[in-house]
C-alpha cells in the first residue's frame, strides 16, 4: 500500500467507521411481504357525522362574521365614521366680546378685560391612573392648589359639559408653562376670553348687576354654551339679548395625540351691541361718595337714593347702601366672598331703591292733600289749630311738635308736616271736619299716584309695596278697620309700604307739572348703522287739576323756605320738597325720608333719599343738600 496507494486492499476492513455497514451489508437485499399483510391501510380518522358537525360550526362562524361585518359597516358605518371624524376634527369656541355700557355723556361704565382660562377636558384625561396622577400633580404644583381643591373644581362642571373650568385670570408666565404642559396632556385646554370689569367707585353694582355661568336650562334652550357668561341681575340681565354677542368657532384637524395640525374652517365672533344709559357718571360717583361719608359718620349703613330727570324719567344716579363688589362674580366665585355677602345682616345684595319697602311717613302727605283738594273736602283756605295733637275716642294722636304748629292751612301743613291737619282731612271726626276722605278714598288716590304697583323701571326684582284695605285687615287679623287706622294712614304710617322709586315718581308729578314718565336706565342702543334713541313712556298724568297741582307745588316750596328743610336754602337754586320720618318699630329709630326737586321753576332733577333708622336728625335732608350744592355749582 505504501508503494501503490491506488491498489485495493483485500481482506477485512479495519476502519471502525464502516465496520457496522459491513456487518449489515445484506440489509435491503430482499423485501419481506409478510409485514404488509399485518398493517392497516391509510384512510379517514372520523366518520361522516362528525364531518357534518364541524362543517355547520364553520358555516355558523362565517355567517356570524358576515353579520357582524354587515352591522359595523352598513348599519353603523355612518355613526362610526362620525366618531372617527370627531376624533380627527375638534371644534373650538371663540367667545364674543360683550357690548359695552356708557353713561349719557359717553363715559364707559363697564369694560371687557381678557384673561387666560384653564379648562380640563374630562373626556381626554389619561386612562392609566399613574399618568392621570402625574397630570394632577403637575397642575397642583403650578397652580398652588391642593388635590382636593382641584377635584372639587373638576366636579363642579355643569351636568352634560365635558369641560371643567379650573382657573380664571391666569398670569401670563403661568399660562405659557401650562401651554407647554398641554403638549403632553391633551386634556389641558387654555383659552383667552373676555370678562367684565366694573368700576366699584361708581356704586353701580345694583344697577348694572353682574354675570354668571349659563345654567343647564340656558344651555337646553339652545342659545348658550356651558362656558358662556350671561346676565344674572340688573342691566346685564334686562338687556342680555342686546349686550351678548355671537360666539365664533374654529374647526381644527388633530392627530392621534390631539395635537393641532390644520385649521379647517373659522367663523369670526360677532361682538355684542353697546348701550348708552341715562346715568350721569359724575353725579353717580358724587352721590355714592356723599352717601358713604354720611353712612360712616353717623353709623347708618343702610341707605337708598335715586335721582330722576322729570322731563323724561331717565335715571341720572341710583345708589343703595351697603353696596357690593360685582367684580367677584366675574371670575371663579370665591365661596368665602359670597358667603360674606349673603350672610351680612345688612343685605348688600338688596337694591333698596326698587326692592326695599318702607312706611313712607310724611312724604305720603302730598297724596292725602291732593285727594282732599280734588274731592273738595277742603279748599286752600281750610285751617285747623294744631296744639300738639287730637283726642278721639280716648286715644291721643300727636303732632311731631309737642306744643303743636298753631293755625295751619294746607301750605303750612305740608311745609311743617302738621299731623293734626292730615288727621282731620283723612278721617274727620273732630271740631274742624266731621267727614274726612276715609281709607278707601286715600288708597284710591295712592293707586292713582302709582303706589301699590311696579314703577316699570328696567330692573329685575322690583317690589310693588303694599296698600292696605279694610277687607285685608279683617281677613288677615280678624279685626275691623278703626278710625285710628285711617288717621295713621293719613300721615303715611300703619300698614302702608312703598319703595323709594315710587316716592321719586310721586315727586316727579309735582315737579313736571302733572306728567310722570316711566323711570328707566336705557337711553340709546348703538346699532351699526345708527343710534336708536328710545322715546320716554308716560306712566301717570292728569291725576289732579292744574290749580290744585300749583297749590301743592307752592306748599312743597315752602318746606324749604320756612318749613322742615330750611337747610337747603344754601343750594344755588330754589328747591322744593317734603321731609318724612317713618315709625316702623317702637323699639327702633324711625326711618328718615326726603323727596325733592330743583330748580323750582324749571326742574332738572327729582331726588329721593331714604336712610333706614336715620331718625329725626334730618340725615336724608343733609345728603340731598350736599349733593345739590355740588350738582348745581358745576
Mean pLDDT of 266-279: 92
pLDDT at residue 235 tops 90: yes
- The whole-angstrom separation of Cα 559 and Cα 548 is 17
Helix (H, G, I), strand (E, B) or coil at 102: strand
Question: Predicted confidence band at 64 (pLDDT cuts at 50, 70, 90)?
Answer: confident
Whether residues 526 and 412 share a domain: the answer is yes
Cβ-contact 245, 230 below 8 angstroms: no
The number of domains in the chain is 2
Residue 269 · residue 247 · CB < 8 Å: yes
Q: What is the dihedral of CA 21, 25, 27, 30, to 10 degrees?
A: 160
Which of 456, 400, 448 has its CA nearest to residue 423?
A: 400
Expressed as residue numbers, the domain containing 268 is 91-277
| Rounded Cα–Cα distance for residues 621 and 593 (Å) | 8
Residues 256 and 320 reside in one and the same domain: no
Kindly compute the dihedral angle of the four CA atoms of residues 330, 336, 342, 347, in this order, to the nearest 10 degrees.
-90
Q: What is the pLDDT of residues 306-331, one digit of tens each?
A: 999 999 999 999 999 999 999 888 77
Using the predicted structure, report yes or no on whether residue 20 has a pLDDT greater than 90. Answer: no
Q: Report the CATH number at residue 499.
A: 3.40.710.10
Judge whether residue 33 has pLDDT over 80: no
Q: Is residue 171 part of a domain?
A: yes
pLDDT digits (tens, 9 = 90+) for 602-634: 999 999 999 999 988 789 999 999 999 999 998
pLDDT, one tens digit per residue, over 152-210 is 878 766 665 677 878 877 888 888 888 888 878 888 888 888 889 999 899 999 999 99
Q: Which pLDDT tens digit goes with each residue over 420-473?
A: 999 999 999 888 999 999 999 999 999 999 999 999 999 999 999 999 999 999
457, 518 Cβ separation under 8 angstroms: yes
Kindly state whether residue 287 falls inside one of the protein's structural domains. no
Supply the pLDDT for residue 419. 96
Q: How confident is the model at residue 55 (pLDDT cuts 50, 70, 90)?
A: confident
Lowest mean pLDDT across 73-82, 140-149, 348-357, 436-445: 73-82
Whole-Å CA distances, 509 to 284, 329, 540, 552: 23, 38, 8, 11
Question: What pLDDT band is residue 267 in, cutting at 50, 70 and 90?
Answer: confident
In a domain, 285, yes or no: no
SS3 529: coil
Residues 235 and 326 in one domain: no
Distances (CA, A) of 633 to 18, 308, 318, 570, 627: 139, 18, 20, 11, 10
Q: What is the CATH number of the domain that holds 194?
A: 3.90.1310.10
Straight-line distance from the first to the last Cα atom of the chain, in angstroms, rounded to the nearest whole number: 147
**308 falls within a domain:** no
Q: Look at residue 2 and tell me if it is in a domain.
A: no
Q: For residue 56, what pLDDT is reported?
A: 80
CB neighbours (10 Å) of residue 441?
Answer: 18
**Mean pLDDT in the chain?**
87
Distance CA 209, CA 501 (A): 18
> Quick one: how many helices (H) and strands (E) in the chain?
22, 23
**Separation of CA 311 from chain center:** 30
Shared-domain flag, residues 253 and 332: no
Q: Do 514 and 425 sit in the same domain of this protein?
A: yes
Given this model, what pLDDT does residue 11 score? 54
Burial class (CB in 10 A: 0-12, 13-18, 19+), 466: middle
CA distance 354 to 437: 29
Q: Are residues 324 and 240 in the same domain?
A: no
Same domain for 320 and 272: no
How far apart CA 543 and CA 569 sit, in angstroms, is: 30
SS3 track for 368-382: HHHHHHHCCCCCCCC
Residues 199 and 327 grouped into a single domain: no
In a domain, 365, yes or no: yes
pLDDT on residue 596: 98
Percent of the chain with pLDDT over 70: 87
* Segment 324-353 mean pLDDT: 85
Pair (266, 384) in one structural domain: no
Is residue 29 very low, low, confident or very high in pLDDT (cuts 50, 70, 90)?
low
Give 126's pLDDT tier (boundaries 50, 70, 90): confident
Q: Is residue 85 part of a domain?
A: no
pLDDT for the residue 147: 85
Query: In three state form, how does the secondary structure of 535-582 look?
Result: CCCEEEECCCCHHHHHHHHHHHHHHHHCCCCHHHHHCCCCCEEEEEEE
Could you tell me if residue 307 is inside a domain?
no
389 or 393: which leads in pLDDT: 389
Taking the CA atoms of residue 566, residue 568, residue 574 and residue 576 in that order, the dihedral angle to the nearest 10 degrees is -70
Could you give the CA distance from residue 452 to residue 448 in angstroms, rounded to a whole number? Answer: 10
Domain identity same for 192 and 332: no
Q: What are the Cα distances from residue 161, in Å, to 90, 95, 164, 451, 472?
A: 15, 17, 7, 46, 50
In a shared domain, residues 570 and 510:
yes
What mean pLDDT is predicted for residues 579-596? 93
Q: Which residues pair with 57 in a beta bridge?
A: none
- 262 lies in the same domain as 380: no
Rounded distance between C-alpha atoms, residue 597 and residue 568, angstroms = 11
Tell me the per-residue pLDDT of 469-524, one tens digit each, with 9 for 90 and over: 999 999 999 999 999 999 999 999 999 999 999 999 999 999 999 999 999 999 99
Residue 257's pLDDT band, with cuts at 50, 70 and 90, is low
Is the predicted pLDDT of residue 106 greater than 80, yes or no?
yes
Is the confidence at residue 86, as pLDDT, over 60?
no
Contacts 24+ apart (CB under 8 A), 335-340: none
Amino acid at each position: 500500500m505504501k508503494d501503490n496507494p491506488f491498489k485495493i486492499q483485500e481482506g477485512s476492513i479495519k476502519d471502525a467507521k464502516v465496520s457496522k455497514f459491513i456487518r449489515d451489508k445484506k440489509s435491503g437485499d430482499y423485501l419481506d411481504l409478510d409485514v404488509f399483510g399485518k398493517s392497516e391501510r391509510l384512510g379517514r380518522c372520523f366518520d361522516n357525522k362528525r364531518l357534518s358537525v364541524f362543517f355547520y360550526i364553520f358555516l355558523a362562524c362565517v355567517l356570524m362574521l358576515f353579520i357582524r361585518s354587515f352591522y359595523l359597516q352598513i348599519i353603523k358605518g355612518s355613526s362610526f365614521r362620525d366618531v372617527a371624524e370627531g376624533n380627527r376634527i375638534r371644534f373650538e369656541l371663540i367667545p364674543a366680546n360683550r357690548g359695552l355700557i356708557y353713561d349719557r355723556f359717553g363715559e364707559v361704565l363697564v369694560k371687557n378685560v381678557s384673561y387666560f382660562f384653564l379648562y380640563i377636558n374630562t373626556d381626554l384625561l389619561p386612562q392609566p391612573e399613574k399618568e392621570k396622577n402625574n397630570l394632577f400633580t403637575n397642575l397642583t404644583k403650578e397652580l398652588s392648589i391642593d388635590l382636593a381643591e382641584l377635584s372639587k373644581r373638576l366636579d363642579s362642571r355643569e351636568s352634560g359639559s365635558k369641560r371643567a373650568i379650573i382657573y380664571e385670570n391666569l398670569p401670563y408666565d403661568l399660562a405659557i408653562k401650562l401651554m407647554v404642559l398641554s403638549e403632553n396632556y391633551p386634556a389641558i385646554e387654555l383659552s383667552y376670553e373676555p370678562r367684565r370689569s366694573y368700576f366699584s367707585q361708581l356704586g353701580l353694582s345694583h344697577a348694572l348687576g353682574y354675570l354668571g355661568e349659563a345654567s343647564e336650562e340656558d344651555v337646553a334652550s339652545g342659545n348658550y354654551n356651558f362656558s358662556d357668561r350671561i346676565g344674572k341681575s340688573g342691566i346685564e340681565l334686562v338687556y342680555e339679548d342686546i349686550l351678548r354677542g355671537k360666539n365664533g368657532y374654529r374647526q381644527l384637524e388633530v392627530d392621534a395625540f390631539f395635537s393641532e395640525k390644520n385649521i379647517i374652517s373659522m367663523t369670526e365672533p360677532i361682538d355684542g351691541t353697546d348701550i348708552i344709559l341715562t346715568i350721569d357718571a359724575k353725579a353717580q360717583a358724587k352721590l355714592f361718595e356723599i352717601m358713604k361719608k354720611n353712612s360712616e359718620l353717623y353709623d347708618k349703613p343702610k341707605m337708598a337714593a335715586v335721582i330722576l330727570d322729570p322731563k323724561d324719567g331717565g335715571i341720572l344716579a341710583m345708589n343703595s347702601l351697603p353696596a357690593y363688589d360685582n367684580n367677584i362674580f366675574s371670575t371663579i366665585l370665591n365661596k368665602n366672598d359670597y358667603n360674606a355677602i349673603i350672610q351680612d345682616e345688612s343685605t348688600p345684595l338688596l337694591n333698596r331703591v326698587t326692592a326695599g319697602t318702607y312706611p313712607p311717613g310724611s312724604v305720603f302727605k302730598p297724596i292725602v292733600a291732593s285727594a282732599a283738594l280734588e274731592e273738595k273736602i277742603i279748599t286752600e283756605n281750610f285751617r285747623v289749630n294744631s296744639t300738639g295733637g287730637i283726642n278721639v275716642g280716648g286715644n291721643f294722636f300727636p303732632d311731631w311738635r309737642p306744643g303743636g304748629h298753631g293755625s295751619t292751612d294746607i301750605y303750612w301743613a305740608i311745609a311743617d308736616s302738621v299731623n293734626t291737619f292730615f288727621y282731620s282731612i283723612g278721617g274727620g271726626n273732630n271740631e274742624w271736619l266731621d267727614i274726612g276722605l276715609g281709607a278707601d278714598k286715600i288708597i284710591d288716590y295712592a293707586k292713582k299716584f302709582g303706589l301699590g304697583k311696579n314703577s316699570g323701571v328696567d330692573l329685575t326684582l322690583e317690589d310693588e309695596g303694599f296698600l292696605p284695605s279694610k277687607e285685608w285687615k279683617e281677613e288677615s287679623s280678624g279685626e275691623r278697620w278703626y278710625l285710628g287706622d285711617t288717621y295713621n294712614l293719613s300721615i303715611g304710617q300703619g300698614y302702608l309700604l312703598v319703595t323709594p322709586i315710587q316716592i321719586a315718581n310721586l315727586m316727579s308729578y309735582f315737579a313736571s307739572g302733572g306728567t310722570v314718565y316711566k323711570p328707566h336706565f336705557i337711553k340709546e342702543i348703538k346699532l351699526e348703522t345708527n343710534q336708536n334713541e328710545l322715546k320716554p313712556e308716560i306712566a301717570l298724568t292728569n291725576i289732579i287739576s292744574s290749580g290744585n297741582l300749583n297749590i301743592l307745588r307752592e306748599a312743597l316750596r315752602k318746606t324749604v323756605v320756612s318749613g322742615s328743610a330750611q337747610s337747603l336754602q344754601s343750594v344755588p337754586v330754589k328747591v322744593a320738597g317734603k321731609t318724612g320720618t317713618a315709625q316702623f318699630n317702637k323699639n327702633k329709630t324711625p326711618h328718615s325720608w326726603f323727596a325733592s326737586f330743583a330748580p323750582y321753576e324749571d326742574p332738572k332733577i327729582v331726588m329721593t333719599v331714604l336712610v333706614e333708622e336715620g331718625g329725626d336728625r334730618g340725615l336724608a335732608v343733609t345728603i340731598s343738600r350736599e349733593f345739590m350744592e355740588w350738582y348745581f355749582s358745576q
